[in-house]
Amino acid sequence: MVVAAVHVPAAVLACWSLGRTLWEGVDRPGIALAFGVLIAVGEVVGRGGAPAAGYRRAVGEREAAPLGAAGALAYALLGEAGGRPTGHGVPQTVAVVLAAGLIGLVPQLARGRGPALDHLARRVLTVGFAAVCFQPLHGGGGLGAGMASGPAHPLFLVALLALTTLCDAVLAAALARARTGWPFGPLLRDELRALLGIGTAICATGVVISLATAVAGLWALPVFCLPLLLTQCAFRRFAAVRTTYRQTIASLARSTEIAGYTPHGHARRVAALSRAVGRELGLNEPDLDVLEYAALMHDIGQLSLLDPVPRGATAPLPSAEQRRIALLGGAVVRQTGVPAEVAVIVERQADPYRDQPVTARIVRTVNAYDDLSGTAAGPGGRLRALERLRLATARDHEPGVVEALARVLARGGRAG
């Protein structure tokens, strides 16, 4: 329902804009072509290279093609070019952005990935919103002399872009909620937090391109797009480092499987399910990353045992032995350079849940669920595992975490 509420208005706006533009012709086609090329290049560079999950986490889900977004917003707020007024209006603005966005989808389709229709619908709606707020007022003189060309004009553009990106954040969170079933509040919080990073750069670049093009003409495009392009490249490098870092942690976590202390794939399953439960409970992205790292490495202390515990399940061991294994695991984790919160989660796995941070409670419950619902549990093992977790909520497992796990499993156990 939410997806249709976004896609249908976007499709209507796109069809109306294309029809009006084809009927009335293109105003200042050279400018339209230049901005169209800029937007298309930004989309191809941002999305055609197949950004991995590490890149999406690095920039947030806010914007994977910042150069394309800045170019689109700059064209929506363009009132003059080289000192001459432009008259492209709302329909042509949306039509150019739509055509460039469709070109940007070509590399994705060539690589066998589905088209990013959510992204394109958001782009059409947000650019249409900015153009509707600016183009009629500027072209019709509704802004007044001070707002149209005076010192207040840049402030007006910044305020309009801030409102536009805020609306886009709400749309992105709503679509993510509809696609994944994750809580809307944490999704919106993550989107708004990302506005302080890449969102600020997009708004600033859009305003600068619009103002510079009004004075210097199209020569301003390559000059003022370069900083944002370099920023995007830096984000990709950072994302590559983070991806390598996570792969290193995952490889270290597999040492318990290779040594025969835990079942194959146990750490990976616990990490994926823990992230999903954390998302269900409203944790933000930084906390989810810490949770995932801790879940991957929660059994590393078992390497200190002389003989493996059957199926790697430490729950039947005496409390003192569980605590010793947890502390040894935390000591190993502290040598890896991960955040200290990861080691704390690993060290406190044997504590009563009321004394644990929420991330440690999640790892403890999900780990117990994976131990209880393994292949040896037989048919109905998952239901029996959940029932045993509910019966152990007096001391071992927080009821809220167990119920969040049950909701995630009911949706198919989608990872966060």
Sequential pLDDT tens for the chain (416 residues):
888 999 999 999 999 999 999 999 999 999 999 999 999 988 888 765 444 444 344 444 455 678 889 999 999 999 888 888 888 889 999 999 999 999 988 887 777 665 678 889 999 999 999 999 888 877 655 554 445 556 777 888 888 988 999 999 999 989 988 887 788 888 888 888 878 777 888 888 899 999 899 888 898 898 888 888 887 787 778 778 888 888 888 888 888 888 888 888 888 999 999 999 999 898 888 899 999 999 999 888 888 777 777 776 776 677 788 888 888 888 888 887 788 889 999 998 888 888 889 999 999 999 889 888 865 555 577 888 888 899 888 878 899 999 999 999 988 754 44
Residues forming a β-bridge with 84: 81
Angle at 61 between CA 58 and CA 67, to 5 degrees: 80
Nearest to 160 by CA among 187, 126, 120, 186: 126
**pTM, two decimal places:** 0.79
DSSP 317: S
pLDDT of residue 87: 83
Measured from the Cβ of residue 407, the count of other Cβ atoms closer than 10 Å reads 13
Say how far apart CA 76 and CA 90 lie, in whole Å.
8
